Structure 1
């Protein structure tokens, strides 16, 4: 049983590593874009108008993708005051229930986000004149990654020998 929990934790780490690297790349692009926007507005008079729109979309994608990383580290919302005072079996049941409720939420967000992104392809962005479906695709992608992390965290919660001590107990810190 611990092998299943350790495997789920290992895959959670792997998925999280890809998401974290992606978020760092998006952050670097965001910082460079904002610097470029400041330069072309106040220092070098160039007619570059795309920097604000690009910054907006980079920030949204980065924030949405970071949700799955928060789930991997168990940094999502939990009722710690009650959770930590429960017996081990009740903590395990409650942790799995939290995982299931969050999974249902993110699955619905993924499902409806697909049609949201699809409808976005019929509208164009103001400056780029590209379909808004590309920026909107961050919603279902982030929700899908959150579902993957919640499934892995839930498998770990079910099969680990030791129930979680707290709702914020980090899973991504290493493999048991």
Structure 2
């Protein structure tokens, strides 16, 4: 189980680095758009569109980071009042449901991304596949992270009182 946690951490570090680069590119792109609009009036067609797709990629990839750190929002008040064995079973079931949803999203996201090959991104002069592929790629990473943290924690991630910031 420690191997799953170590692999999850390594993958998460890489994904966080990629997200940081995407966010830096997003900030730079928005600044170019602002400078273009208010100072130079170049009327560049791409900063707004590029910002949109950079934000989509960054946000979707960041989902797997939240999974790896177990930082997504959860209401734990009811679950924490249950006996430990039942709590562990429920938390494992929740992870399995989330895994199913992300696998579903990946499965149906692949044909969606392939369909982007036939759609043109007029501003960039390419097809939409690189942009549409954010959905299956992010879903695959999220699925992998859920499997790894499930193996790492086995429903015990709420047992440590230090992990709880808010008890409802």
TM-score (norm 1): 0.86
Say if 1:79 and 1:167, in contact at 8 Å, map to a contact too: no
Q: How does 1:59-138 map to 2 (within 5 A)?
A: 59-138=55-134
SS in 2 for 1:28: helix
Tell me how many residue pairs correspond in the alignment: 163
Unaligned runs of 5+ in 1: 171-176
Deviation of the 1:131 alpha carbon: 0.6
Match of 1:42 in 2: 38
Aligned partners of 1:62, 1:102: CA distance in 2, in Å? 20
Q: Which moved further from structure 2: 66-75 or 101-110?
A: 66-75
Match of 2:24 in 1: 28
Say if 1:73 and 1:168, in contact at 8 Å, map to a contact too: no
Residues 166 and 132 of structure 1: is their aligned pair in 2 closer, same or farther, counting only changes over 3 Å? farther
Which aligned runs of 4 or more in structure 1 are off by greater than 4 angstroms? 166-170
The alignment's C-alpha RMSD in Å is 2.0
More helix by share: 2
Aligned partners of 1:166, 1:30: CA distance in 2, in Å? 38
Aligned partners of 2:80, 2:87: CA distance in 1, in Å? 8
Say if 1:83 and 1:167, in contact at 8 Å, map to a contact too: no
Aligned partners of 1:8, 1:51: CA distance in 2, in Å? 40
Deviation of the 1:106 alpha carbon: 0.1
- Structure scoring higher RCO (CA < 8 A, sep ≥ 6) equals 1
Deviation of the 1:167 alpha carbon: 10
Aligned partners of 1:10, 1:38: CA distance in 2, in Å? 42
